[in-house]
């Protein structure tokens, strides 16, 4: 059952394909869409973080196709990653949001960039967390040194090794153990890791989905056609990029790269944060987003 004050809505995005979504906050507040990463349920956005944003926004979360309570459809109806950006627009449409602030994490940050590039008229502001630029332009350091995209820091080998292991079914308890170990790696080593909290969050996600198996659809989907070099360079939508010091998937240089190749973008430091949303980072992150969305909302009036 949803918590008090939270409404759920099913969104149709293709024949036989439905997305679960929920919304909280005042009905007349500016909408804010949360876009999670690959294979992740919308419930991966912690409740306390979502509630903090809902103090000023109508906050919408949703499950991607092949995640959570949405239709697991890839094997019967393959899709492209770019289709998931269209899904995000469909969620906004279903919730009556003509324009919205968007916050994307990991793959969700890439989908947010696709929206910035292809549908800027729908976006009030964007926040990108733990992701990489959909641009072919190099990173240019302060001393003029250029680093090609292919030479930017890569994923921590320990994370790659874990991702390469096949996920076998050894029961619910073993799957919870695996997920906690995964999040321990993704969290980095600068902040305490709260294993019990993460285990409980994953237990709620599994209960929400009604299953504990893991889809590989987003890894198998066609990732071509995502580069938006010129469109991002022309971006005028206010864009905030988190620079997490302990990020093991897209190390801090990627945040600086996004901000450099994207028009009207800036970084905000998230000390100690990795490729996860730990307790210690939720307040600073929500505060930074709310400051960003407030400034973006005020900008048209100021001009």
CATH of the domain at 194: 3.40.50.1820
Q: What is the pLDDT of residues 223-248, one digit of tens each?
A: 999 999 999 999 999 999 999 999 99
Give the pLDDT confidence of 156-179 residue by residue, as tens digits: 999 999 999 999 999 999 999 999
pLDDT for residue 222 is more than 60: yes
Taking residues 267-293, what's their average pLDDT? 98
Is residue 218 domain-resident?
A: yes
Give the whole-angstrom CA distance, residue 281 versus residue 113: 23
Q: Is the pLDDT of residue 221 over 70?
A: yes
Residues 41, 298: Cα–Cα separation, whole Å: 32
Radius of gyration of the chain (CA): 18
pLDDT band per the 50, 70, 90 thresholds, residue 263: very high
Residue with tokens 């307040």: 283
- How far apart CA 103 and CA 218 sit, in angstroms, is 19
Whether residue 1 is contained in a domain is answered as no
Percentage of the chain modeled with pLDDT above 70: 97
Mean pLDDT of 101-130: 98
Domain holding 225, by residue range, is 7-302
Structure tokens at 70: 């949405």
Any domain includes 288: yes
Check: CB of residue 114 under 8 Å from CB of residue 87.
Answer: no
Label the pairing between strands 17-24 and 31-35. Answer: unpaired
Whether the Cβ atoms of residue 270 and residue 127 lie closer than 8 Å to each other: no
Residue 178 lies in a domain: yes
Q: Which residue has the higher pLDDT, 5 or 195?
A: 195
Please report the pLDDT score of residue 187 as a whole number: 98
Per-residue pLDDT at 1 exceeds 50: no
| pLDDT, mean of residues 57-68 | 98
Asked if residue 2 is part of any domain, the answer here is: no
pLDDT digits (tens, 9 = 90+) for 72-93: 999 999 999 999 999 999 999 9
CA 59 to chain centre: 14
| Distance, C-alpha 153 to centroid of its chain | 20
- 3 pLDDT exceeds 60? no
pLDDT at 149 over 90: yes
Q: Which of 58, 199, 228, 220 is nearest to 128 (CA)?
A: 228
Strand ranges (E), the chain: 7-14, 17-24, 31-35, 58-62, 100-105, 123-129, 139-140, 146-147, 239-244, 265-270
Residue 108 phi/psi, 5-degree rounding, is: -60, -30
Q: How far is 20 from 65, CA to CA, in rounded Å?
A: 9
CA 249 to chain CA mean position, Å: 13
Strand partners of residue 126: 102, 239
pLDDT given for residue 144 in this prediction: 87
Residue 182's pLDDT is 97
Has residue 302 got a pLDDT over 50?
Answer: no
Averaged pLDDT score across all residues of the chain: 96
Predicted local distance difference test score (pLDDT) of residue 300 = 60
How far apart CA 195 and CA 193 sit, in angstroms, is 6
**CA–CA distance, 198 with 32 (Å, rounded to integer):** 25
* Residue at 66 is within a domain: yes
At 67, is the secondary structure helix, strand, or coil?
A: coil
Q: Give the chain's domain count.
A: 1
Place of tokens 């490729």: 275
pLDDT band at 119 (very low <50, low <70, confident <90, very high): very high
Establish if 262 belongs to a structural domain.
yes
In a domain, 30, yes or no: yes
* CB-based contact 57:34 (threshold 8 Å): no
Nearest to 249 by CA among 174, 159, 165, 183: 159
State what percent of residues in the chain have pLDDT above 90: 94
Contact 105, 112 (CB under 8 A): no
Cβ atoms of 59 and 91 within 8 Å: the answer is no
Assigned token pair, 18: 């439905």
């Amino acid at each position: 059952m949803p918590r008090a004050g939270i409404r759920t809505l099913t969104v149709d995005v293709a024949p036989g394909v439905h997305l679960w979504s929920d919304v909280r906050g005042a009905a007349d507040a500016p909408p804010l869409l949360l876009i999670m990463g690959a294979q992740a349920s919308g419930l991966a956005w912690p409740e306390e973080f979502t509630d903090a944003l809902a103090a000023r926004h109508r906050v919408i979360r949703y499950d991607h196709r092949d995640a959570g309570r949405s239709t697991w459809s890839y094997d019967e109806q393959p899709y492209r990653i770019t289709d998931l950006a269209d899904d995000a627009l469909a969620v906004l449409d279903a919730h009556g949001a003509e324009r919205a602030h968007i916050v994307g994490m990991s793959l969700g940050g890439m989908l947010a960039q696709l929206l910035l590039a292809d549908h800027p008229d729908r976006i009030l502001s964007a926040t990108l967390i733990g992701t990489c630029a959909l641009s072919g332009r190099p990173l240019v350091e302060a001393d003029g040194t250029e680093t090609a995209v292919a030479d930017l820091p890569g994923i921590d080998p320990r994370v790659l090794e874990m991702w390469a292991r096949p996920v076998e079914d050894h029961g619910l308890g073993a799957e919870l153990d695996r997920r906690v170990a995964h999040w321990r790696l993704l969290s980095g080593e600068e902040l305490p890791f709260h294993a019990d909290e993460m285990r409980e969050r994953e237990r709620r996600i599994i209960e929400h989905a009604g299953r504990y198996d893991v889809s590989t659809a987003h890894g198998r989907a066609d990732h071509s056609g995502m580069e938006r070099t010129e469109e991002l360079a022309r971006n005028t939508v206010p864009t905030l990029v988190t620079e997490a010091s302990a990020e093991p998937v897209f190390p801090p240089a990627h945040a600086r790269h996004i901000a450099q190749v994207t028009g009207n973008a800036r970084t905000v430091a998230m000390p100690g944060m990795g490729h996860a949303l730990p307790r210690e980072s939720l307040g600073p992150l929500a505060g930074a987003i709310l400051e960003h969305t407030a400034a973006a909302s005020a900008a048209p009036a100021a001009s």
